[in-house]
Structure 1
Amino acid sequence: MRRVAVTGLGTVAPGGIGVKEYWELLTSGRSATRTISFFDPSPFRSRVAAECDFDPVAAGLTPQEIRRLDRAAQFAVVSAREALADSGLDVARLAPDRIGTSIGSAVGCTTSLEREYVVVSDGGRTWNVDHRYAVPELYRHFVPNTMAAEVAWVAGAEGPAAVISTGCTSGLDAVGHAVELIREGSVDVMMAGATEAPISPITSACFDAIHATTPHNDEPERACRPFDRSRGGLVLGEGAAVMVLEEWESARRRGAHIYAEIAGFAARCNAYHMTGLKPDGREMAEAIDAALQEARLPPDSIGYVNAHGSGTKMNDRHETGAFKRSLGDHAYAVPISSIKSMIGHSLGAIGALEVVACALAIEHGVLPPTANLHEPDPELDLDYIPLTARRQQADVVLSVGSGFGGFQSAMLLTGPEVRS
């Protein structure tokens, strides 16, 4: 089986555009959540979100790109350019059909679709919408695969291209799909990651309807509280992360800087309930077990767990149960944290942002904390790193994701020398 190296990173995230700013936010323990500024949030139950301070001109996009691309696609393109530059890969020297693209997204170009519907329906007053008022780019916003196409153009990638949409596990699953394409020999390089810009009235209404988002509006920076006794739901976020993944030996031959190896990946579905989770965490535990088996690593080799940690009571119980079920006694010894406490839950993008955080944790020997964890829920009795980053080397890192519909995914990253 061919091995897969992570050689380039790019991010757009709340609290900072670019990998350096992103990592500084995570290790500072600061929360980037605030009262929603994109629209009037007063009609909604949850009025906070983790927004990106994103200036497309400052990020290097042309006026034509800004006009053509939805906000989520802009995030993806900017992240892909950073990742490609970071990798040092000269794509002009590669066969274009040996480069592929895998981008995850749960809700696609929601922001542009909602904005344009308001225009063509005259604010919702006209049942028969008037297409004459639609922007020429409306079809691009309607079909999510255009985001994968835009990233492919960044790298001149003519190999397989796909958008993976599995809800909140889309980011992990998109990277997992990319890994499998390299392993099977279909490609040598993948532009892999996820993007999301869901902070809009329709998204807020959807989450309000199921009471999944937090009602803690008075202190926005403290609204997301994974594993805390007072947690009340997730905080919406936005952002993107794109990575350059390469076949291990070719990355070594060209002298690439390797952040980490993606050693194992697995996904499961509980076939149980759209939003409900069983507290024993069996399906997530099975995904973890399968990822460990693929990586040929024992449970006690894991030095850090990047938890899904959405801040809902059901999820926190579910994954605590999954860690105990899969890792046994080691679950009580391994450090765990949730970066959603700082950057919110960017739906399909969050899994890719978390993989980047895991690669940086391996690179720097620092484990991000869980912000706002002041009063741990006694029912959640594992080492959920509170408030302050922990300087500790972890050469094997587990990242997990859980999505509505019962999707459960697990990915293992290892340091460059662990399996050499």
Structure 2
Amino acid sequence: MSRRVVITGMGLVTPGGIGTKAFWEQLTAGRTATRLIRAFDAGAFRSPIAAEADFDPILAGLTAQQVRRMDRAAQFAVASAREALADSGLESDGVEPSRVGVSLGSAVGCTVGLEEEYVVLSDGGRRWLVDHEYGVPHLYGYMVPSTLACEVAWECGAEGPVQLVSNGCTSGLDAVGYGAQLVAEGTVDVAVAGATDAPVSPITVACFDAIKATSPNVADPEHASRPFDRDRDGFVLGEGAAVLVLEELGAARARGAHIYAEIAGYAARSNAYHMTGLKPDGREMAEAIRVALDQARLAPADVDYINAHGSGTKQNDRHETAAFKRSLGARAYEIPVSSIKSMIGHSLGAIGAIEVAASALALEHQVVPPTANLHTPDPECDLDYVPLTARDHAMDAVLSVGSGFGGFQTAMVLTRPRGLAA
């Protein structure tokens, strides 16, 4: 029989605030962290806008040697894992190492380290044949995304299954979902699950510039991310990480752990259609929602809040709205929906895990984060998108969804732990 899985710890590195407390305060204040890029001179790009994390690895507790070895995405992940483990209250010797697993998501891996090293090896791009002798000893690790998961495993002493999930922008949701499955099936007793990405680099900005997916609103970068707004003009790149500690419900209760939420349902689908395109009817996302609700043994009437993908592109927002209507029927018009990407941007593979953390905190505090910058709703996006201001709201079940290049569609259902039978 499948075991029930709960979240007992979380750690975050996000734009606008480092740590869970700062993250939640930012969301409930409706404060945006999007700005003109500071990491490098982005003045020549169509969209020189991003939501950057003001992260100091030394202040976060990493050693100088770790900083030298790790790409920025790995630094985010390890800092988040440390916070999550401390938050969970798990003792280092309390769980057999072989019963601890890691499931980490990332869409673009060690992008910052790879690009910096390519610039050096190619002498600023002037040499077609790069000189490997100038490469740092850790260059191989940058080229293998699984090193991100390995860094987290080393940090928490995990000797069970360790995996790196790279499903584009659903990587974070899928990594948490796979981690929950490891606990549910009894393969591990604890899963350290989440995602990290640090894509704010010239190569990534250039790629999204080329397909005109990101907002060019340099006149007002603070309000450039406008999901579901009539005047939106693309998403805003972000960066960050979220790591969660997942345990079996009975074990968590037995040790008196604080439980944020139960992961009650998870499902993933693909549209098998187009690398970047979405079918307007939202059928695949609707199917993922239906299956996740079935797993949770919930009906559409039981959903109290939807944490949307809400990227701020016209294609996604309309596709997602259609999926909610298709899967939830008339109930879709009664459920508050919001997108935290309006405040912290779109951190690609990391954002799904960050949104799971936001969903769990929404349940914990009974507050729906707002969709910032939503002043003039798109007539085709006619649901309750909680514009501008957070809302007190009674919740027992939250739906979090993600959509990614490649046609990936993922849904997860979180429920309140209070009143659940052990």
TM tier, smaller: over 0.9
Query: What is the Cα deviation at residue 43 of structure 1?
Result: 1.6
For 2:156, the equivalent position in structure 1 comes to 155
For 1:387, the equivalent position in structure 2 comes to 388
TM-score by length of 2: 0.99
Could you say what secondary structure the match of 1:2 adopts? coil
What letter is aligned with 2:409?
Q
Pairing 1:199–2:200 present: yes
For 2:230, the equivalent position in structure 1 comes to 229
Could you say what secondary structure the match of 1:309 adopts? coil
Query: What is the Cα deviation at residue 117 of structure 1?
Result: 0.2
For 1:297, the equivalent position in structure 2 comes to 298
Pairing 1:172–2:202 present: no
What letter is aligned with 1:164?
V
TM-score by length of 1: 0.99
What letter is aligned with 2:215?
T
What letter is aligned with 1:21?
A
Are the counterparts in 2 of residues 34 and 220 from structure 1 also a CA contact under 8 Å?
yes
Task: Provide the C-alpha distance between the structure 1 equivalents of 2:107 and 2:362, rounded to a whole number of angstroms.
Answer: 26
Q: Which moved more, 1:157-166 or 1:85-94?
A: 85-94
Could you say what secondary structure the match of 1:91 adopts? coil
Are the counterparts in 2 of residues 395 and 418 from structure 1 also a CA contact under 8 Å?
no
Task: Provide the C-alpha distance between the structure 2 equivalents of 1:43 and 1:385, rounded to a whole number of angstroms.
Answer: 35
For 1:220, the equivalent position in structure 2 comes to 221
Residue by residue over 1:195-249, the C-alpha shift from the partner in whole angstroms, topping out at 9 and shown as x without a partner, is: 0000001001110111111111111111000000000100000000000000111
For 1:258, the equivalent position in structure 2 comes to 259
- 1:357-372 to 2 correspondence within 5 Å? 357-372=358-373
What letter is aligned with 1:116?
E
Query: What is the Cα deviation at residue 93 of structure 1?
Result: 2.0
Are the counterparts in 2 of residues 171 and 193 from structure 1 also a CA contact under 8 Å?
yes
Query: What is the Cα deviation at residue 394 of structure 1?
Result: 1.2
- 1:15-414 to 2 correspondence within 5 Å? 15-414=16-415
Query: What is the Cα deviation at residue 418 of structure 1?
Result: 5.4
What letter is aligned with 1:54?
F
Residue by residue over 1:120-158, the C-alpha shift from the partner in whole angstroms, topping out at 9 and shown as x without a partner, is: 000111111111111111111111111111111121110
Residue by residue over 1:139-193, the C-alpha shift from the partner in whole angstroms, topping out at 9 and shown as x without a partner, is: 1111111111111112111000000000000000000000111111100100000
Query: What is the Cα deviation at residue 393 of structure 1?
Result: 2.0
Residue by residue over 1:370-408, the C-alpha shift from the partner in whole angstroms, topping out at 9 and shown as x without a partner, is: 000011111111000000000112110000000011100
Are the counterparts in 2 of residues 402 and 408 from structure 1 also a CA contact under 8 Å?
yes
Task: Provide the C-alpha distance between the structure 1 equivalents of 2:417 and 2:87, rounded to a whole number of angstroms.
Answer: 17
Task: Provide the C-alpha distance between the structure 1 equivalents of 2:100 and 2:116, rounded to a whole number of angstroms.
Answer: 34
Are the counterparts in 2 of residues 292 and 412 from structure 1 also a CA contact under 8 Å?
yes
What letter is aligned with 2:406?
G
Task: Provide the C-alpha distance between the structure 1 equivalents of 2:264 and 2:224, rounded to a whole number of angstroms.
Answer: 34
Task: Provide the C-alpha distance between the structure 2 equivalents of 1:213 and 1:203, rounded to a whole number of angstroms.
Answer: 11
Residue by residue over 1:316-343, the C-alpha shift from the partner in whole angstroms, topping out at 9 and shown as x without a partner, is: 0000000000000100000000000000
What letter is aligned with 2:169?
C
Could you say what secondary structure the match of 2:33 adopts? coil
Are the counterparts in 2 of residues 170 and 351 from structure 1 also a CA contact under 8 Å?
yes
What letter is aligned with 1:396?
A
Structure 1 gap ranges (5+): none
What letter is aligned with 2:410?
S
- The number of residue pairs the alignment matches comes to 420
**Identity among equivalent pairs (%):** 70
Residue by residue over 1:41-79, the C-alpha shift from the partner in whole angstroms, topping out at 9 and shown as x without a partner, is: 112111100000001111111001100100000000000
What letter is aligned with 1:370?
T
Could you say what secondary structure the match of 1:372 adopts? coil
Task: Provide the C-alpha distance between the structure 1 equivalents of 2:280 and 2:415, rounded to a whole number of angstroms.
Answer: 29
Task: Provide the C-alpha distance between the structure 1 equivalents of 2:325 and 2:129, rounded to a whole number of angstroms.
Answer: 54
Task: Provide the C-alpha distance between the structure 1 equivalents of 2:274 and 2:62, rounded to a whole number of angstroms.
Answer: 42
What letter is aligned with 1:305?
I
Residue by residue over 1:90-113, the C-alpha shift from the partner in whole angstroms, topping out at 9 and shown as x without a partner, is: 131211000000000000000000
Task: Provide the C-alpha distance between the structure 1 equivalents of 2:187 and 2:119, rounded to a whole number of angstroms.
Answer: 43
